[in-house]
Structure formats: structure tokens, C-alpha cells
């Protein structure tokens, strides 16, 4: 934590946070965090749940907990009561805090003695979320590697668009903190881009696709240093937009980014302080300074060489990483192995399709069959006719369902319910 304290001193008079109503310098954020630390002092050394609203008070509470040597467990403010109960049990949280406006005295003697910097909860798309622990080393070297790769420095403005309880949102803040750059967050994404002209922005494909509908936003984003895109496939057609798009690969267990492409290109390089190993089966292993510390209340997730094996498949050639799919997504249809990612990439080659998601559905004849969800402005009559030119027949989904909007984080159970309902309607 000491290097973060040093960052506040080094960049004291530079702007760190810009909100809809005011801006805060590094020094002002530090002073507000000392007030939070004084209020939170009774939680010294504890694990504390923190509902991460998208406002400045979440930062003050986060840093305040670090100052007193407590470990914040970052929770979505949208979490249901049952989810919060589960998070509390899995991470042994005694308190859940909701950040609010501060007033009062400042803590005079910071302690900085926490072994863990943050507890995050994985998305749990195929099961219950796991609580994982990140160290201050993890945060620092993840940010340092990203800052070096993209050349992030004091002149940059980074627009926050991702939730702060996710590793992607948290690391935007840490990158700014360690580089002296300025973090901007606002309730209106489009107006913030036009008003502040950020040099860096992290987006998921859905956000980018929506932003591209505004010519003024596109003109502004063309001036950016990098637009980081993660979380899902992005159709190749968007790379002809002259935007500085950088495809990224990462996960909570790697403290966000592992690899990224030079803005404007699609080939991903491994970032500094990360190490990637590819097994004989194509499974991706992660080592290095950004690999997470451990899961809470779980068996040791590392092998004898301290490698964490992700459920992603890929290849590493001439220093470039290519992601081919997920091991836990592989299924068998009529005796043939199918990887959803391959079908999704083919669907995204269809001009009208903006997003695609393929899942296996149980079938009496084939065992499992591919079911495709897609997002488009128009309802395609028969996407399978186009896919015949791109995929062998057994990989073409038997059913397609257009959704006006869907969340990449939707749990598998919800998608299966939607798919089954559609199949029943078609067959009856």
C-alpha cells in the first residue's frame, strides 16, 4: 500500500477524479480518504463488504479501508439480499458498508498493514461465485504493465464505464492512481465523451456498438489514445472505423488484463509482468506478478509450478496470444465436438449481427445441440443460410433467437430457460 500513498504525494496537485459536479486533486482525495479512515477505524484489520456505487465516495471508503489495514470486499450495489448474504458467508464479512458523504476529523496515523488489497467475487456463470483475494502487488504490477503498454501518464484522462466491483472497473482507478492520470465518471456516457474527450476508455462490445450510432461521439473517440475492448467478441467490421481499438484478454484471477493489442490492430501481445503458458491441450495457464493470491475457503487452485489454469483455450505464436474458446463450453453434438466461440465468431461475420451467444441445449436425438442468441437491428429470416458458407453443417445452430438486448453476464440457467421456451413455441 505504501506505493499508493507515495502516488498521492507525488501527484498531489494533479486532478485525480472528475465527476458531474466537481473535480478532486490527488491531495483532496487523500484528505477525504483520511476522514473515511477515521470513521471506519473500528473495522481495523477486518474484512469489510463495500457496496461500490459509481461515485467518489466509493473511492474514499476504499482508500480509507486500506489506510486502516482493513480488506474491502467489493460488492455490486445491485446485488440482491440473498447474494449479499452468500458473499458475506463466503468471505466471512462482519460488516457491509454503503459509502456516503463524509464529514469529521481525519485519521492522523495510517497503518497500511493489510495482507490483502481486495476481495472480488467471480461472475459464477456456471456455478456459485468464488471469493478471490488480490494483493497490493497484484494491483500495482497489473496497473504498471498496462500503463507501460499504452503509454499512460499524467497527461491522460481515463473515462470509467465499468462497474467498480468488477476487476476491470477497479483497475481503471488503479491505473490512474499509479500513473498520475485523471479518472472521469459520469451518469451519461455519451455526453462525458463529448465533453471531456478522454484519451482512454474501457468498454464492452455492447457499449461500443451503441456509441457508434452517434457521429459526434465517433469523431471524438477517433482522437483517443486507446479504446480497450474486453468481455466478448467484437465483429471485425468495427476495425474499419479508424478507431484506436485495443482487444484485451483478462480475468479476475489475473487482476484484469493479461494481453492486449496495439490500438488499431487485432493481434494481442502479453503485457509486462504477466506470463502465459499454453498446455498440450491448448489450455491457458497464468503466472507472474498479477496472478491472484488465492480463493477464500477453497482448495489451492495452483499446480506444482504455481500456475493458475484458466478455462480458456488459446495459442501463443511469435509472442501473440489468440483465444479460441473455453474448455468448460465444449460440448458434443451427434458425436462431434463443438466450441461455441467458433460459431459465435461466424455469426459476427454477418453484417446485421452486433452480438452473438451460443449455448448447448439437451436434445433427445443428438445429445446436445447449439442454440444461438443474437442481437441485431433487424430480425434475420434464416441466418443458417449464410452460416453454410462459414461452418460445417453439424456446427450450424438448430435454433436462432433474436434479443433486443442481453447481458453477457447472464447466467447459463437464464439463457437455457429462454432457449427452451423458444424451442417449445417453434415445435408446438
Longest dimension (CA), the chain: 71
- How buried is 3 (Cβ within 10 angstroms: 0-12 exposed, 13-18 middle, 19+ buried)? middle
The crossing angle, in degrees rounded to 10, of helices 56-67 and 26-40 is 60
The SS3 call for residue 151 is: coil
The pLDDT of residue 125: 45
Residue recorded with cell 452473438: 356
CA 2 from centre of chain = 26
Contacts of 376 (CB under 8 A, 6+ apart): 352, 353, 354, 402
Locate 186 and state its grid cell.
459520469
For residue 54, the number of C-alpha atoms closer than 13 Å in the C-beta half-sphere is: 18
Helix axes 26-40, 2-10, angle to 10 degrees: 140
Walk along the chain (428 residues) in steps of 10 and give the mean pLDDT of each run.
Answer: 81 95 95 95 93 95 94 91 90 92 81 82 69 95 97 96 93 96 91 95 85 92 94 73 91 95 93 96 94 90 93 90 81 79 88 88 83 86 87 89 70 84 84
Instruction: Output the pLDDT for position 410.
Output: 67
Integer CA distances (angstroms), 140 to 249, 256, 273, 290, in order: 18, 12, 10, 8
- Strands 47-51 and 226-229 come out as unpaired
d(CA 92, CA 102): 27
Say what the pLDDT of residue 407 is: 58
Class of the CATH-defined domain 2-323: alpha beta
Q: What is the 3-state secondary structure (H, E, C) of 167-232?
A: HHHHHHHHHHHHHCCEEECCCCHHHHHHHHCCCEEEECHHHHHHHCCCHHHHHHHCCCCEEEECCC
Rg (CA), the chain: 22
DSSP 267: P
Q: Are 60 and 36 in contact (CB under 8 A)?
A: yes
Phi first, then psi: give them for residue 139, nearest 5 degrees.
-60, -45
DSSP result, 35-95: HHHHHHGGGTTSEEEEE--SSHHHHHHHHHHHHTT-EEEEE-TT--HHHHHHHHHHHT-SE
Contacts of 270 (CB under 8 A, 6+ apart): 258, 259, 276, 316, 319, 321
CATH 3.40.50.12780 domain position(s) in the chain: 2-323
Out of 1.20.1250.20, 3.30.300.30, 1.20.58.220, 1.10.10.60, select the CATH number for domain 330-427.
3.30.300.30
Residue 218 pairs in a beta bridge with none
**Residue 378, pLDDT score:** 80
Residue 124, class by beta-carbon neighbours within 10 Å (0-12 exposed, 13-18 middle, 19+ buried)? middle
List every span in the chain annotated with CATH 3.30.300.30. Answer: 330-427
- Sign of dihedral through CA atoms 48, 138, 60, 4? positive
Q: Which residues contact 215 (CB under 8 A, 6 or more apart)?
A: none
pLDDT at 406 (0 to 100): 61
Specify which residues 316 forms β-bridges with: 321
Total Cβ atoms within 10 A of residue 146? 30
For residue 133, what is the DSSP state? Answer: E
Decide: 212 and 218 in contact? Cβ < 8 Å.
yes
145 neighbors 274 (Cβ within 8 angstroms): yes
Q: Looking at residue 307, what is its pLDDT?
A: 96
Query: Which among 228, 271, 272, 224 is positioned nearest to 247, based on CA atoms?
Result: 228
CA–CA gap between residue 154 and residue 359 (Å, rounded): 44
Amino acid at each position: 500500500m505504501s506505493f499508493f500513498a507515495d502516488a498521492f504525494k507525488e501527484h498531489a496537485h494533479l486532478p485525480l477524479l472528475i465527476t458531474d459536479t466537481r473535480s478532486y486533486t490527488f491531495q483532496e482525495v487523500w484528505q477525504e480518504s483520511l476522514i473515511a479512515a477515521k470513521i471506519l477505524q473500528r473495522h481495523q484489520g477486518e474484512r469489510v463488504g463495500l457496496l461500490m456505487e459509481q461515485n467518489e465516495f466509493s473511492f474514499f471508503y476504499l482508500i480509507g479501508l486500506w489506510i486502516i489495514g482493513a480488506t474491502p470486499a467489493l460488492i455490486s450495489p445491485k446485488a440482491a439480499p440473498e447474494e449479499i448474504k452468500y458473499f458475506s458467508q463466503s468471505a466471512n464479512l462482519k460488516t457491509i458498508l454503503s459509502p456516503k458523504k463524509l464529514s469529521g476529523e481525519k485519521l492522523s496515523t495510517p497503518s497500511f498493514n493489510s495482507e490483502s488489497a481486495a476481495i472480488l467475487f467471480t461472475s459464477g456463470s456456471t456455478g456459485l461465485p468464488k471469493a478471490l483475494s488480490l494483493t497490493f502487488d497484484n494491483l500495482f504490477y497489473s496497473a504498471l504493465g498496462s500503463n507501460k503498454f499504452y503509454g499512460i501518464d499524467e497527461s491522460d484522462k481515463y473515462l470509467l464505464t465499468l462497474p467498480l466491483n468488477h476487476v476491470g472497473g477497479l483497475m481503471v482507478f488503479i491505473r490512474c492512481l499509479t500513473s498520475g492520470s485523471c479518472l472521469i465518471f459520469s451518469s451519461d456516457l455519451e455526453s462525458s465523451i463529448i465533453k471531456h474527450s478522454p484519451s482512454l476508455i474501457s468498454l464492452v462490445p455492447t457499449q461500443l456498438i451503441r456509441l457508434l450510432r452517434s457521429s459526434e461521439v465517433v469523431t471524438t473517440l477517433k482522437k483517443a489514445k486507446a479504446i480497450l475492448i474486453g468481455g466478448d467478441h467484437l465483429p471485425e467490421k468495427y476495425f474499419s472505423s479508424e478507431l484506436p481499438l485495443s482487444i484485451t484478454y483478462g480475468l479476475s484471477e489475473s487482476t484484469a488484463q493479461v494481453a492486449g493489442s496495439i490500438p488499431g490492430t487485432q493481434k494481442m501481445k502479453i503485457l509486462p509482468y504477466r506470463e502465459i503458458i499454453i498446455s498440450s491441450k491448448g489450455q491457458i495457464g497464468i503466472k507472474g506478478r498479477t496472478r491472484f493470491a488465492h480463493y477464500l475457503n477453497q482448495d489451492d487452485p495452483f499446480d506444482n509450478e504455481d500456475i493458475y489454469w484458466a478455462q480458456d483455450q488459446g495459442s501463443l505464436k511469435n509472442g501473440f496470444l489468440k483465444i479460441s474458446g473455453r474448455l468448460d463450453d465444449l460440448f458434443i453434438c451427434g458425436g462431434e465436438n463443438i466450441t461455441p466461440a467458433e460459431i459465435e465468431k461466424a455469426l459476427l461475420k454477418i453484417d446485421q449481427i452486433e452480438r452473438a451467444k451460443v449455448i448447448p441445449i439437451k436434445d433427445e436425438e443428438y445429445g446436445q445441440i447449439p442454440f444461438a442468441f443474437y442481437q441485431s437491428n433487424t430480425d434475420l429470416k434464416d441466418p443458417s443460410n449464410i452460416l453454410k458458407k462459414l461452418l460445417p453443417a453439424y456446427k450450424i445452430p438448430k435454433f436462432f433467437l433474436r434479443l433486443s438486448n442481453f447481458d453477457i453476464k447472464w447466467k447459463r440457467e437464464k439463457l437455457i430457460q429462454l432457449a427452451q421456451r423458444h424451442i417449445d413455441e417453434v415445435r408446438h
